[in-house]
Amino acid sequence: MKETINRIRQEPPKIRIGKKGITEGIIQEIRIILKKDKIVKIKCLQSIPTKSTKAIAKNVSELTNSKIIEIRGKTFILGIFHTK
């Protein structure tokens, strides 16, 4: 899993949250990516204050049943992990 997290840190974000905020379309897109890749990198655009990123990440993680892996500036990484 560490290799996957390191790889995604280097990649551009797959989702961008802008002035419209968290929409149902964004949540659906994140769910699709999480189902396929188990991890997704999301960036909040300039219109969103940096101090709001943590609250947005928490909200998105709850809506997508995922965990926050990392928050850096306006970018965060979410992942889903299944224990057996």
**pLDDT of res. 41:** 98
**Tokens coding 66:** 């995922």
CB 19 within 8 A of CB 45: yes
**pLDDT of res. 84:** 47
Asked if residue 15 is part of any domain, the answer here is yes
Asked if residue 84 is part of any domain, the answer here is no
Asked if residue 72 is part of any domain, the answer here is yes
Provide the 3-class DSSP secondary structure of residue 24.
helix
Q: Which domain holds residue 9?
A: 2-79
**pLDDT of res. 83:** 52
Q: How many CB atoms lie within 10 A of CB 22?
A: 14
pTM, two decimal places: 0.91
| Cα–Cα distance for residue pair 39/64, rounded to 1 Å | 11
Query: What CATH code is carried by the domain that includes residue 68?
Result: 3.30.110.60
**pLDDT of res. 82:** 65
Q: Which residues pair with 15 in a beta bridge?
A: 42
**pLDDT of res. 54:** 95
Q: How many domains are contained in the chain?
A: 1
Mean pLDDT of each 10-residue bin along the chain, 84 residues long = 87 94 95 96 91 95 96 96 60
